[in-house]
Structure 1
């Protein structure tokens, strides 16, 4: 017959390792009146699980953003010299292949308008890219700039940076300046009707396309100018 007051299991386990007095003391001091917290083994409700997953995801995103370095500002880029052309690269011959690429690009952009011109041609010229173009200053508020000619290596919002044939780097403001550009016509081979690559001559006797742009109307970044619609209106001459 079982005892009416059975000994707790914890006391039996303590009696195996300690003397009866020590077991009774340990049980009364550390076990008898201490609550035992049990973690439920069932999963939490779906709403709590979704909130926990969202919280974990947000913490990971915040940690990832904090570890990602901030981009450099424009002033920091200028201070580091990221916009500067290295001195060993300031040679006209280095940018001549870029000039040939630009001529081919403009021939594709203009198409048949290379020979006819017109309003459609003007709209395409306004939105075109001018890195690699060879420009010449025909009119300017500063007389010393007239006659400067070189390949555009940097088309910023307010100025053209060009490299001349004398390997000189010039910064020409767009404001108050008229630039002249020339696109040679494709050279026809005598034995074939297909066009060949353009000659590298600077003469304009092969019925090429010559035009002028007013720098005041080109005071936009090239990326912004590509999506901008220009309207024809009267402009005062310089």
Structure 2
């Protein structure tokens, strides 16, 4: 028991031994040391403020110039803009348009009286285009025939004078649509009639002049006829 007590006292003496005098620092000494460190820090700050060169605008501009320089060993890869590709909208084909009936005019509902201003505009267009007082002379007749063949007939007051089909003879109306093979006219009875060009002869008037169109020579789309050069052909009686 005595041995155990001596060991316990020895352990307590080791753990609870007072600090040496050199290691003891009083509060006054500690405050003195802290004060000296803060003074040193203030000195360092003043040194940095006085002797460190602050950055100016000129320095930043010089740095940007240096960074923008191209170096030969640097791989300059241009970044392509990832622009979204515009997808083209699919247009309707001619077969789809025909199935939908986009080019068909209603047989009823179009009034003859409502087309009178269109006819008046067409007469003014033809008078300015043909210049009949000058073109009607013998020397200028070839040019006149070319203009008549290339003219636009939407708004023209046409009359069928001859045809292989007797029911078409005498039909008269304002042209509202022209296709490759037909003239579609609105009669005075506000009815739509489709007259084939083939084997038909038409007449129309401009002021005191009367003109004759042979349908067999007009079997061309209006857009193509405007840019086509016509040759004189002999007319064959029906």
Both proteins in one fold, TM over 0.5: yes
CA displacement, residues 14-46 of structure 1 (integer Å, 9 cap, x when unaligned):
xxxxxxxxxxxxxxxxxxxxxxxxxxxx97445
Aligned-pair CA distance for 1:145: 0.7
Query: What is residue 231 of structure 1 aligned with on the other side?
Result: 231
**What is the 5 A alignment of 1:120-139?**
120-139=143-162
Query: What is residue 195 of structure 1 aligned with on the other side?
Result: none
**Could you tell me how far apart the structure 2 residues matched to 1:78 and 1:181 are?**
30
Query: What is residue 92 of structure 2 aligned with on the other side?
Result: 72
**Could you tell me how far apart the structure 1 residues matched to 2:125 and 2:114 are?**
19
| Residue 181 (structure 1) aligned to one of 194, 204, 222 | 204
Structure 1 runs not aligned, ≥5 long: 1-41, 185-207
Aligned-pair CA distance for 1:74: 1.9
**Could you tell me how far apart the structure 1 residues matched to 2:149 and 2:123 are?**
16
Query: What is residue 113 of structure 2 aligned with on the other side?
Result: 93
Structure 1 residues 88 and 146, CA gap change in structure 2 (3 angstroms): closer
Query: What is residue 194 of structure 2 aligned with on the other side?
Result: 171
Structure 1 residues 87 and 232, CA gap change in structure 2 (3 angstroms): closer
What's the TM-score, normalizing by structure 2? 0.62
| Residue 123 (structure 2) aligned to one of 100, 103, 109 | 103
For the Cα contact (< 8 Å) 1:135–1:181, is it kept in 2? yes
Other structure's SS at 2:92 match: coil
**Could you tell me how far apart the structure 2 residues matched to 1:75 and 1:160 are?**
21
**Could you tell me how far apart the structure 2 residues matched to 1:144 and 1:120 are?**
34
For the Cα contact (< 8 Å) 1:92–1:165, is it kept in 2? yes
**Could you tell me how far apart the structure 1 residues matched to 2:128 and 2:170 are?**
28
Q: Which has the bigger relative contact order, CA under 8 A and spacing at least 6? A: 1
Kindly tell me the number of residue pairs found equivalent between the two proteins.
163
Q: CA RMSD in A?
A: 2.3
**What is the 5 A alignment of 1:2-41?**
none
**Could you tell me how far apart the structure 2 residues matched to 1:87 and 1:137 are?**
19
Other structure's SS at 2:117 match: helix
What's the TM-score, normalizing by structure 1? 0.62
Aligned-pair CA distance for 1:162: 0.4
Aligned-pair CA distance for 1:122: 1.0
Aligned-pair CA distance for 1:82: 2.0
Query: What is residue 142 of structure 2 aligned with on the other side?
Result: 119
CA displacement, residues 56-84 of structure 1 (integer Å, 9 cap, x when unaligned):
46xx3xx412xx32111122223323223
CA displacement, residues 75-107 of structure 1 (integer Å, 9 cap, x when unaligned):
222332322334664210121111000000000
**Could you tell me how far apart the structure 1 residues matched to 2:89 and 2:114 are?**
34
For the Cα contact (< 8 Å) 1:107–1:114, is it kept in 2? no
| Residue 143 (structure 1) aligned to one of 166, 186, 192 | 166
